[in-house]
Chains A and B, each alone.
Chain A
Amino acid sequence: MIRISDLSYHHGRTQVLDQVSLTIPKGGITALVGANGAGKSTLLSLIARLTPLQTGSIHVGDLDVSRCPSDMLARNLSILPQNTEVAPRLTVRELVSFGRYPYHKGQPTSEDHTKIDAALQDFDLTPLADRVLDTLSGGQKQRAYVAMTYAQDTDYILLDEPLNNLDIAASRSLMQTLRHLSQEKGRTIVVVMHDLNYACAYADHLVALSNGKIRAEGHPSQVVTNGFLSSVFSTDAHVHHVDQVPVILV
């Protein structure tokens, strides 16, 4: 599990996160939702140490995030940041190979190659393995980035808005793959999401942030209500239920 205690973060005079304490359960998909500027991406960055901690503590499993060595953290937790603009001349295989860097440090072994091939296969990227990233569609590129994160073979996978720029088919396919990873391989996946309907359909646990504070958490069917939409997103959209899954009609 990921344990966050008394976490506060400010950027200049803006309080981005305010005394956040949270436990993200082991296994399953946890969706971080909230309005723009709620502090979701900052929280994810702090968990992965992309941003240095100011106050509070974060433990990923037994690791104290602020103290453990970088390569040890990278072998336990992988993150796909929001900004993934990399060298356009990389091939899909080269990009996915970077996922094994925390283990091989530039000298891949046969085990690394096996894991890279498996990641390419699990994300249907084998036919595209030698294509240069610049020649791929947005959805294919996003799958390649997620496959790189997956190839890192960590217990904890953090994804910051992985559905950005994806059409409905690509979004569904990616979320189904993530669900498979969490259910079959026991990975703990934390996803920052804007689309509440995807969060309700695929997440096992939902955490809602507003103005740097946790406003609600629990199973989506318990958390997502008309009152929740009003307090967290300041919208009067209505929640309906299809097969007990909340669906927001806009």
Chain B
Amino acid sequence: MHARRLIAMGAILALFAVLYMVLGAKGNWNFILPFRATKLAALLLVAVAVSTATVLFQTITQNRILTPSIMGFDALYVLILTVAVFVLGGQGLIRLPPLAVYGVNTVMLVLASLLLFGTLLAGARQDLMRMVLTGIIFGALFRSLTAFLQRMIDPNEYAVVQVSSYARFTQINTDLLLISTILTLLTLGFVWRMRHRLDVLALGPDMATGLGERPRRGQIEALILIAVLVSVSTALVGPIAFLGLLVVSLARLITPTAQHAVLLTSAALISCIVLVGGQMVSERVLFLAAPLSVVIDFIGGFVFLALLLKGTRR
């Protein structure tokens, strides 16, 4: 049953990808096709990164409401970037190789998330409301600190961090596409190797320990992978609050399973369909009258509220 649905989703995605490439294309195809292909590749990368990070996060926290975005991961990424601009100056940062900036941001995000969320996971796992509230408070704190620092830096330097502060599917930072692709593929390789362990970790720390797993080690590995994936998506298109929650909730609905091999694939396909299909409609049909990030956050926000009111932890 799941295999058929996955194949159907793959077919829909292929159709949307072709439509995204050719719909409304006028002029020189030698320019249009590579231009659109680059954007399509970035959309697919972001979609897979966000959905995979969300599945991982929901597995290690054992609830279906929390996502890295809700817990403030991407806000933390923007804060780290802002601090870098504040300390080094915008020009100083621009003079550094983009790869170095990207690498340092990612490493900082990994360390900060291990410190913050690793501690939180050890202490507050059983208390959903405490986890959600802590995440919201962290998110608000990171955003407030970012806003505070952005007010203190030179307006010209502000432009360096501005691009990373808002979701923008029309202005994808394609300079980082190659390194993002390599990082994402490597991370996905690790996640795929972990898929059976994730099935066991989802049973909870006690049962996982009883089955010979080491939950704490699994959580740390997952947090590192999540931080890398969040870095990729935030660097490419900026923070997207509710995409992960939306697509993983849909994946659990369409392919209800406890097997991460199926869940990860399903969530990635749905995420790609939502982003590529949504961006195609937004750009080619609505001519950007309704920005995709607003629509995703609007629908995703409702899903978040519905899940919260329903009390769906597991």
Give A contacts to B, CB under 8 Å: 45, 48-50, 70-75, 78-81, 83-90, 94, 98-99, 101-102, 105-107, 149, 152
- Interface readout for B210-249 with A: 1 if CB under 8 Å, 0 if not? 1111100000000000000000000000000000000000
Q: Which of B197-215 contact A (CB under 8 A)?
A: 197, 199-200, 202-207, 209-214
Partner of A106 from the list B195, B256, B314 (CB cut-off 8 Å) is B195
Let me know if B22 is at the binding interface, CB within 8 A: no
Closest residue of B by beta carbon distance from A152: B211
Q: What is the bound-complex CA distance between A94 and B203, given in angstroms?
A: 12
Partner of B207 from the list A71, A81, A102, A107 (CB cut-off 8 Å) is A81
Contact across chains for B314 and A70 when beta carbons are under 8 A apart: no
Partner of A70 from the list B202, B213, B252, B256 (CB cut-off 8 Å) is B213
Contact across chains for B212 and A74 when beta carbons are under 8 A apart: yes
Contact across chains for B209 and A50 when beta carbons are under 8 A apart: yes
Contact across chains for B258 and A48 when beta carbons are under 8 A apart: no
Contact across chains for A50 and B206 when beta carbons are under 8 A apart: yes
Provide the residues of chain B in CB contact with A94, threshold 8 Å.
Answer: 258
- Counting residue pairs across A and B whose Cβ atoms lie within 8 Å, the total is 68
Contact across chains for B202 and A87 when beta carbons are under 8 A apart: yes
With A70-B214, A87-B203 already in contact, 12 other A-B pairs whose C-beta atoms are closer than 8 Å: A48-B209, A49-B209, A50-B205, A70-B209, A71-B212, A72-B212, A75-B212, A80-B210, A84-B207, A87-B202, A89-B252, A98-B199
A79 to chain B, nearest CB (A): 4
Provide the residues of chain A in CB contact with B200, threshold 8 Å.
Answer: 98, 101
Let me know if B196 is at the binding interface, CB within 8 A: yes
> Given contacts A94-B258, A106-B195, is CB(A86)–CB(B204) below 8 Å?
yes
Partner of A98 from the list B205, B211, B214, B252 (CB cut-off 8 Å) is B211
Let me know if B170 is at the binding interface, CB within 8 A: no
Provide the residues of chain B in CB contact with A75, threshold 8 Å.
Answer: 212
Closest residue of A by beta carbon distance from B206: A81
A-B contact pairs, 20 of them (CB 8 A): A48-B209, A50-B205, A70-B209, A70-B214, A71-B212, A74-B212, A75-B212, A79-B206, A83-B206, A86-B204, A87-B203, A90-B258, A94-B258, A98-B203, A98-B207, A99-B211, A101-B200, A101-B213, A107-B196, A152-B211
Q: Which of B162-215 contact A (CB under 8 A)?
A: 195-197, 199-200, 202-207, 209-214
Provide the residues of chain B in CB contact with A107, threshold 8 Å.
Answer: 196
Contact across chains for B258 and A81 when beta carbons are under 8 A apart: no
Let me know if B91 is at the binding interface, CB within 8 A: no
Provide the residues of chain A in CB contact with B204, threshold 8 Å.
Answer: 83, 85-86
B65 to chain A, nearest CB (A): 14
Contact across chains for B211 and A86 when beta carbons are under 8 A apart: no
Q: What is the bound-complex CA distance between A116 and B214, given in angstroms?
A: 23
Partner of B196 from the list A73, A87, A106 (CB cut-off 8 Å) is A106
Closest residue of A by beta carbon distance from B193: A106
Q: What is the bound-complex CA distance between A79 and B210, given in angstroms?
A: 6
Provide the residues of chain A in CB contact with B199, threshold 8 Å.
Answer: 98, 106
Provide the residues of chain B in CB contact with A152, threshold 8 Å.
Answer: 211
Let me know if B144 is at the binding interface, CB within 8 A: no
Provide the residues of chain A in CB contact with B205, threshold 8 Å.
Answer: 50
Q: What is the bound-complex CA distance between A132 and B204, given in angstroms?
A: 18
Let me know if B257 is at the binding interface, CB within 8 A: yes
Closest residue of B by beta carbon distance from A78: B210
Provide the residues of chain A in CB contact with B207, threshold 8 Å.
Answer: 81, 84, 86, 98
Closest residue of A by beta carbon distance from B211: A101
- Interface readout for B25-45 with A: 1 if CB under 8 Å, 0 if not? 000000000000000000000
> Given contacts A86-B204, A87-B258, A98-B203, is CB(A50)–CB(B210) below 8 Å?
yes
Partner of B314 from the list A50, A85, A99, A149 (CB cut-off 8 Å) is A85
Partner of B210 from the list A72, A81, A87, A106 (CB cut-off 8 Å) is A81
B125 to chain A, nearest CB (A): 11
Closest residue of B by beta carbon distance from A79: B210
Contact across chains for B210 and A74 when beta carbons are under 8 A apart: yes
Which 8 pairs across A and B sit closest by C-beta, in order of nearness?
Answer: A106-B196, A74-B212, A71-B212, A81-B206, A102-B212, A79-B210, A87-B258, A70-B212
